[in-house]
Amino acid sequence: MLIQRVLTAAVGIPIIVAVTLLGGLLFAVVAAVILMLGVLEFYAATDPETATTSPSHPRLRRAAPSMFGQRLPGFAGCAAVALLVAAAYEGLDELTGALVLSIAGVFLLLLLQGNPQTGLRDWLWAISGVAYVGFLGAHLVLLRDLDDDGDWVFVAVFSTFAADTGAYFVGRVLGRRHIALAISPGKTLEGSIACVVVGFPAVFLVTWVTGVDVDELELVPLALSLPLIAIVGDLAESLIKRGTGIKDSSDLVPGHGGFLDRLDSILFTVPLVFYYVIWVIA
């Protein structure tokens, strides 16, 4: 497992760097594909007609059911995620408008299906994926457009990676005290402290490497909050997986599970960095 994680990182990180540096339409398309795969993983795991819950199924399944065997609301939600990313390529106002359109559009689809017994349930299911994966994830495109070289994307993504990596290794070696046993048995106080200890300087280091022109004092609140928000993002996906009885969202990313497993913290830290930059630093 560890070798797979390292090999996947060795292949994936150069691709992330290259796509981020190139930016533009390529970055938006790659982000859209990854987020669409992530939301399909989410729908496969949480479909109210097929999902199991951990109290009834205490032994976690290795992966979620087939991503591509979705019902219509799942595919509608996936299309909405693509729309959100396309809208984010145009700007924040367009992203907000696309979210409103998605909320209404999925409702319209279910009205046309005409099943009052499942309509509301399926709308909530579809829109939760759109909001969680699509809306939060589309901030990757907004963040990329804040500068010419994608420096803030590097700050958000690689600081999160560093924080997660610190938490993973310290938690495995030294972790003893659980902080959310019912939600994530592997999440420990020691690993969470390591997440903050590693994540805090990582924000400054990545900012320095990328050459972002920002006062160091302005970075302190961001450096403190990013690893904490990363922990929240990790626990949020753990809540989903624990509630549906799966171990990994899929097996598409060797050593890491699925794309949603790799995106969990990033879905929270990228919006954090985006709004911090436009509200505090800019």
pLDDT of residue 215 exceeding 60: yes
CA distances in angstroms from 142 to 87, 138, 148, 211, listed in the order given:
10, 7, 12, 20
Model pLDDT, residue 54? 45
Q: Residue ranges of the domains in the chain?
A: 2-70+140-281
CB 273 within 8 A of CB 143: yes
Q: Dig out the tokens for 235 from the structure.
A: 């626990």
Model confidence pLDDT, tens digit, residues 143-176: 999 999 999 999 999 999 999 999 999 999 998 9
Report which DSSP code applies to 149: S
Comparing 120 with 68, which gets the higher pLDDT? 120
Model pLDDT, residue 55? 46
For residue 13, what pLDDT band results from cuts at 50, 70 and 90?
A: very high
Report which DSSP code applies to 145: T
Instruction: Write b or e for each residue in 71-84: b if 16 or more Cβ atoms lie within 10 A of its Cβ, otherwise e.
Output: bebbebbbbbbbbb
CA neighbor of 126 nearest in space, from 84, 88, 72: 72
pLDDT of residue 255 exceeding 80: no
Comparing 267 with 60, which gets the higher pLDDT? 267
